[in-house]
Structure 1
Amino acid sequence: MAKRDFYDVLGVVKGADAGELKKAYRKKAMEFHPDRNADNPEAEAKFKEANEAYDTLKDPDKKAAYDRYGHAAFEQGGMGGGGRPGGGQGDFGSAFSDVFDDLFGDFMGGQQRGGARSRAQRGSDLRYNMRVSLEDAYAGTQKSINVPTSVGCGGCNGTGAANGAEPQTCPSCSGMGKVRAQQGFFTVERACPACGGIGQIIKDPCGQCGGAGRVEKERSLSVNIPAGVETGTRIRLAGEGEAGLRGGPTGDLYIFIEVQQHALFERDGIHLHCAVPVSMASAALGGDIEVPTIDGGRSRVKIPAGSQSGRQMRLRSKGMPALRGAGQGDMFIELAVETPVNLTSKQKDLLKEFEKLGEDKNNPESSSFFKKVKSFWDGMKN
């Protein structure tokens, strides 16, 4: 049976570039992979056919020969279908490895196939949990913190090698930083055990850092806390994280804010709530009270006569500032009418007298409730 045209196999036009070929092969390989088509006996043949086509067309020299002579370029003692005498099945391990690297390379450390991993690796990002008071969150502040981290080694200037020596290419992986092993259809890659995936080795490591190019040290930093921060706010300090390995770039430091609970105020976004107890007499007769504000000031609030527990009053622009953008929240005063305790005999007598003089209109909620209770009981009797 005559072989199909390789461009038709991959579903691309003749002369397609490397990117189009890889994209087309990746699609075919995923479509006809034997593991995905256990019930389709024709899938494996199509899978091998796509592999052979891509293995030929991905190589510029083979592609040029195929474009000129077609399949005859690899027959009768020619290149042998993938560069091997008498071949024709293609080098699946090589071809599929290209697609594997393209799909999963970023999850394997961001390495590109065919190139060695950079000797220098970026330092890790660090996290620091900081607790601030509500007053500091309101006004903003500056905090000094001590962060244990890694810094570049001064003995080797971050190279990891003693006496200024240069790292050497790892002989085990030829500087690739990874080694491959063939397992059936698949080519499995793993970090080179000789160099730890760096691609280079240091024969004479620095005595201060042991070849890492960095040492542990505690650093003192000043952090600006903007006004309006909330619990969960994250502040990024670029370049203040862990030093890179063997001269690599430094990571970042992330400050995570936790705003402490306050004894007087409860926060709700940019708004504040304050529960204010008032006496029974003040709630009944009305009057003025002074309440605290988060900026340390005082505000006078008028209590209407006959106020009940739970009544709220708003103080505009007395809340928290918005972290991003203009504006400021409000402060809500919630009244809590306090029942008097530890009464003297005279106070008890006065309250009893007051109770005798009371009318339904003096306690409308109580009167309404007990009328409903009486109606409920009457209904149950009937």
Structure 2
Amino acid sequence: MKDYYATLGVSKDASSDEIKKAYRKLALQYHPDKNPGDKAAEERFKEINEAYAVLSDPDKRANYDRYGTEAPQMGGFPGGGFGDIFDLFEQVFGFRSPTAQRSSAPRGEDLEAVVELTLEEAFSGKEAEVTYHRLVPCESCAGSGGKRETCPACRGRGVQEQIQQSFFGTMRTQVPCATCRGRGYRITETCPTCKGQGRKERQEKISVSIPAGIDENQLLRVSGMGNINLGGPGDLFVRIHLQPHPHLEREGPNLFYRLRLGLAQATLGARVEIPGIDGPVPLDIPPGTEHGEIFEMDGKGMPYPGRRGRGSLRVVTEIAVPKQLSKKARQLLEEYAKEVGEEVHPEGFWDRLKRVFKS
């Protein structure tokens, strides 16, 4: 277990101000800009920032004091990147050091496309063709936007130098050139095809592998297939839309089927076939089944994406009460009612007359 208190040289009951003061002192001492090429100082700088990232946050500090880590499920310094350390350094000291400079060129925008699937296609998975439009470099000007000339402000470097006063004394930092927006050039004659944008819309057609068991509104990421810009391409996100099924309803990995049973089937029992997602499934209905009972058929639902096994097929019973009866069927029901002691409404003259006209 790492001793963050020892790393910063403070006691376990140190106040937040004492922790911040100790961090500022050590961060300045071991900052890479003051120790160029010193790997030991660089590692020490990372350890100091890791300790401060935990002890400066009340919740992380409480978890660290209790469990020996900033969060039970967390695997080390948040983010893990050296850039995050400089973000923390910038928050405490109010400026960004030259070592932390990053590329100013923006990447392309992410895009989204929709793929419609039947429930059967979602069950088995498939290769789906996706057609969409994205921005790519203009062929007429090769993405330049037109004729270029070197930016006179930054002399083609794309960055300008700023001078700041800090705890180190005078610090020189580099920022994107405001004149050319970090490109190092400016356009003197606009491309008529793309109107100086350097990008033009193009239709794309790609094949996307849909995994078995995918659900409604899930997103599949296709890296690098979004809009293209100076900083690289964005990504394409494919959203899944499932068409309604004529018989089955879905809830996660489970499927539902509403089974309509006649009075005789529910009372006496029956053997029926359920239209499952991958073929008919036999089901025995026991005598005395009531309305709303659920029969669960394990392993007959949707596949679990990325792992083995399937959900359940749940059959919900609905007792179908006949609206019209033949004369013989009515007589038999009346005899049944009399046998079990149920009071029923006797068929009157108007009821008989209606039945005669309907027949």
TM-score by structure 1 length?
A: 0.58
Q: How many Å separate the matches in 2 of 1:285 and 1:13?
A: 84
Is the contact made by 1:133 and 1:260 (CA closer than 8 Å) also made in structure 2?
yes
* Same amino acid, percent of matched pairs: 28
- Over 3 Å counting, the alpha-carbon distance change for 1:279 and 1:250 in structure 2 is same
The yes-or-no answer on 1:244 pairing with 2:257 is: no
Q: How many Å separate the matches in 2 of 1:14 and 1:255?
A: 44
Deviations 1:250-307 (A, max 9, x none): 1110112122332211212211111110100111111211110112x11221111111
Give secondary structure in 2 for the equivalent of 1:16. Answer: helix
In the alignment, what sits opposite 2:200? 215
The unaligned stretches of length 5 or more in structure 1 are 1-7, 25-95, 106-111, 183-188, 361-382
How does 1:171-182 map onto structure 2 within 5 Å?
171=153
The unaligned stretches of length 5 or more in structure 2 are 1-20, 36-44, 49-89, 165-173, 343-359
Is the contact made by 1:117 and 1:198 (CA closer than 8 Å) also made in structure 2?
no
Is the contact made by 1:293 and 1:299 (CA closer than 8 Å) also made in structure 2?
yes
The residue identity in structure 2 corresponding to 1:338 is A
- Over 3 Å counting, the alpha-carbon distance change for 1:9 and 1:124 in structure 2 is closer
In the alignment, what sits opposite 1:276? 259
In the alignment, what sits opposite 2:332? 350
The residue identity in structure 1 corresponding to 2:263 is M
Is the contact made by 2:258 and 2:317 (CA closer than 8 Å) also made in structure 1?
yes
Is the contact made by 1:12 and 1:20 (CA closer than 8 Å) also made in structure 2?
no
Q: Which structure has the larger Rg? A: 1
Q: How many Å separate the matches in 2 of 1:197 and 1:347?
A: 87
How far apart are residue 348 of structure 1 and its match?
Answer: 2.2
Give secondary structure in 2 for the equivalent of 1:121. Answer: coil
In the alignment, what sits opposite 1:121? 106
Match of 1:318 among 275, 278, 300: 300
- Higher share of residues assigned strand: 2
**Alignment RMSD (CA, Å):** 4.0
- Over 3 Å counting, the alpha-carbon distance change for 1:301 and 1:171 in structure 2 is same
Match of 1:257 among 235, 240, 243: 240
Give secondary structure in 1 for the equivalent of 2:329. Answer: helix
Q: How many Å separate the matches in 2 of 1:239 and 1:13?
A: 41
Q: How many Å separate the matches in 2 of 1:355 and 1:116?
A: 85
TM-score by structure 2 length?
A: 0.62
How far apart are residue 340 of structure 1 and its match?
Answer: 1.3
Paired residue total:
265
How far apart are residue 98 of structure 1 and its match?
Answer: 10
How far apart are residue 135 of structure 1 and its match?
Answer: 1.3
Match of 1:335 among 317, 325, 329: 317
How far apart are residue 116 of structure 1 and its match?
Answer: 8.9
- Over 3 Å counting, the alpha-carbon distance change for 1:97 and 1:227 in structure 2 is closer
Q: How many Å separate the matches in 1 of 2:251 and 2:102?
A: 53
My pick for the range that moved more, 233-242 or 123-132, is 123-132
Give secondary structure in 2 for the equivalent of 1:346. Answer: helix
Is the contact made by 1:178 and 1:199 (CA closer than 8 Å) also made in structure 2?
no
Deviations 1:316-343 (A, max 9, x none): 3211011021111121112111111112
Match of 1:17 among 30, 33, 39: 30
Is the contact made by 2:106 and 2:229 (CA closer than 8 Å) also made in structure 1?
yes
In the alignment, what sits opposite 2:126? 141
The residue identity in structure 2 corresponding to 1:227 is A
Deviations 1:97-136 (A, max 9, x none): 994443xx9xxxxxx6896965x53211111233322111
How far apart are residue 171 of structure 1 and its match?
Answer: 2.0
Q: How many Å separate the matches in 2 of 1:330 and 1:14?
A: 57
How far apart are residue 205 of structure 1 and its match?
Answer: 3.9
Is the contact made by 2:150 and 2:156 (CA closer than 8 Å) also made in structure 1?
no
Give secondary structure in 2 for the equivalent of 1:310. Answer: coil
Deviations 1:167-200 (A, max 9, x none): 5225289855679899xxxxxx998664345453
